[in-house]
Amino acid sequence: MVEQDVTLNALFEAGIWIETGTPGVYGKSAMFEAIIDGLEALVTEAETGAERVRFPPALAESTFIQSGYYKNFPHLAAHVHAFCGCEKTHASLVQSKDPLDQWRDNLAATDIVLTPAACYPLYPLAARRGPLPADGWLFDVQSYCFRREPSDSPDRLQMFRMREYVRIGSPQQVADFRNAWLERSKDMMSTLGLDYHLDVANDPFFGRAGRLMATSQREQALKFEMLLPVIDAERRTACLSFNYHQDHFGTTFDIRPADGSVAHTGCVGFGLERLTLALLRRHGLAPQTWSADLKRALQL
């Protein structure tokens, strides 16, 4: 099978994605959404006993600050602003020849930050539940996430959906969870007919100090990514990530078992748009022509 180029223009021309006037924010067709639903169903089938929780794609600013995201990834965060003018400024805005400039001049930060990763709203919930039980917790979350990375490359979106399983427990429980998912995801890729590479990875920490953090994260193999051809067979794209946060969120949000030690956490994240693009590249832009096995697996 010849791989199909998945460029932004090809996606627009085929009506699979819909332009909105800003890069990295696109509408999606029914077909694209059906593939995402199929992927989510596969992900759901592969795990048992997870507690499903859904949050809107917004974090309380207090959670954002407590998480420390601003220290590591200030360049990716987006804080929601809202109109703070009075009647006079509103009247002048309505009559303005430059409404955009005036509108911007009258904005002030709210107490809402856009969710940067689907697991962030969970940690305060886990902390509020009191002592961590002996089996720990396993959550299933999905959210639109925002990262300020405008780009014309279809695999780099500003708003995208991340499905995650999040394990909170002892270091061993988190390691077992991550190892199980590293194996399970390989089976999932063969079901989907996708050719993967698994590799150690790092998060895009900000600045010079961030480079040291990235090196340390790699040295300790805290992050793995499953890389698939999406745009380019040579420059593969991370479509799944397997993260071990050690005690970072346990300490930050004060999540502890009854013995007072600190909970460890880890998550596996599925980039739903990226996985869908990998399927379109591998199997073609017309899912009705995909093999019967693949259509059955994705409930298409």
Where do contacts with Zn ion occur on this chain (CB under 5 A)?
A: 117, 119, 164, 267
Stretch of 97-105, 157-165, 210-218, 247-255 contacting ligand 5GP, by CB under 6 A: 157-165
For ligand 5GP, the closer of residues 132 and 181 by Cβ is 181
Residue 256 interacting with ligand 5GP (CB under 6 A): no
Which run of H or E residues covers position 237?
strand 237-246
Residue from 238, 255, 268, 280 in contact with ligand 5GP (CB under 6 A): 238
DSSP string, 180-220: HHHHHHHHHHHHHT---EEEE------HHHHHHHHHHHHHT
**Least distance (Å) between residue 166 CB and Zn ion:** 6
The answer to whether residue 239 forms part of the interface with ligand 5GP (CB under 6 A) is yes
267 binds, among ligand 5GP, Zn ion, none (CB under 5 to 8 A by kind): Zn ion
Long-range interactions of 24-29: CB distance < 8 A, separation 24+: 24/149, 24/150, 24/151, 24/156, 24/157, 24/158, 24/159, 25/157, 25/158, 25/159, 26/157, 28/273
Helix (H), strand (E) at residue 82: strand 79-83
By Cβ distance, which residue is nearest to ligand 5GP?
271
Q: Which does 238 bind (CB under 5 to 8 A by kind): ligand 5GP, Zn ion, none?
A: ligand 5GP
Residue 160 as a binder of ligand 5GP (CB under 6 A): the answer is: yes
Which residues in 96-155 contact ligand 5GP (CB under 6 A)?
A: 117, 147, 149, 155
Residues 6+ apart with CB under 8 A from 192: 42, 275, 278, 279, 294, 297, 298
Find the binder of ligand 5GP among 38, 124, 271, 287 (CB under 6 A): 271
What does 156 bind: ligand 5GP, Zn ion, none (CB cut-off 5 to 8 Å by kind)?
A: ligand 5GP
Nearer to Zn ion, 11 or 275 (CB): 275
Question: Which partner from the list ligand 5GP, Zn ion, none does 119 bind, CB cut-off 5 to 8 Å by kind?
Answer: Zn ion
**Buried b vs exposed e over 110-130: b needs ≥16 C-beta within 10 Å?**
eebbbbbbbbbbbbbbbbeee
For ligand 5GP, the closer of residues 93 and 240 by Cβ is 240
Minimum distance, C-beta of residue 177 to ligand 5GP, in the bound complex (Å): 16
